[in-house]
Amino acid sequence: MATQSHLRHFSEFGDYVEIQCVADIRPAAEALDKFATSLARLRTAACANIASKQPMVDAHGAILASEVFGWVGTHALWWQNPRLALTSPLTAACRYECEPFWCNAKGIYPRHPNVLLDQLNTADFLKRAMTHAAIVVPVHLPFGQIGAVSFNATEPDRTDLSQEFDDYADILEFHARKFICGYVKVMNKLRCIAPDVRLSKREVECLGWAALGKTDQEIAIIMSRSCATVRFHIHNAAIKLDAVNRSQTVFKASQLGYLGSII
């Protein structure tokens, strides 16, 4: 099995730690850091949610980036940059790709061609990405959350990670995903969506058209229904999703993966 193979490879550099409670976070981070460093001299940077300003922490609130992964010094505190999620080509690429890729100032290189990545701007790469080169593992989570782990070159003149990507991307991906998913499960206590939500076909269809900017009257014409019927379905969906208005109803339905394939 691939999982057993990855665990055996991991054990060559230290103990693998699966996160089952908050006390496991720090030892798991330390194991991941040792693994990436020993495997290919790569420094780890992990983010559980690229849209959040909150850094990943251990059970005592210590920031993993500095305390475990070694990001210290004025110019290395990437989690303190409030614009990083909006300006970094690494986080931008994570929004358009679900598999690992490596990147440098010349471009972004995924396993398979992705024209959306080809269009991303990598100008001023070092300033915007805060690394010379990196192997990045996007971690797409429930409710639209995106985490990411980047494995960064430690030497300034090491800008080509193509060989490391070919050799280690699968192993790094496995352990990066396990780390982020485990962290999110033990740290995310609040649920913004009620469990076991089941929308009807008509509710999904109405919300799908609403997500495309159609008004109730336009949706009624498209579906050959009355405006009252359209509002009825959207209202029912709002109740099921515990949403306060039309926009939040569409947003929550999208988070749960109901929209996108209906229209």
201-255 fold: Arc Repressor Mutant, subunit A (1.10.10)
Q: How confident is the model at residue 14 (pLDDT cuts 50, 70, 90)?
A: low
In the prediction, which pLDDT does 204 show? 94
- The mean pLDDT of 245-254, rounded to a whole number, is 91
Across the range 22-35, mean pLDDT stands at 96
pTM of the model as a whole: 0.82
| pLDDT 10s digits, 43-85 | 999 999 998 888 999 999 999 999 999 998 867 788 888 778 7
How does pLDDT run across 168-197, given as a tens digit for each residue?
A: 999 999 999 999 999 999 998 655 666 778
Give CA separation, 245 vs 92, 231, 252, 260, in Å: 29, 12, 11, 20
**Residue-range domain boundaries for the chain:** 2-187, 201-255
Is the pLDDT at 146 greater than 90, yes or no? yes
Distance CA 224, CA 226 (A): 7
The CATH architecture assigned to 2-187 reads: 2-Layer Sandwich (3.30)
**Mean pLDDT, residues 29-51:** 95
In this prediction, residue 232 carries a pLDDT of 96
Could you tell me which residues come within 8 angstroms of residue 23 by beta carbon, excluding any fewer than 6 positions away? 59
Q: Compute the average pLDDT of residues 1-24.
A: 75
What pLDDT score does 263 carry?
Answer: 47
H helices present in 136-161, as ranges: none
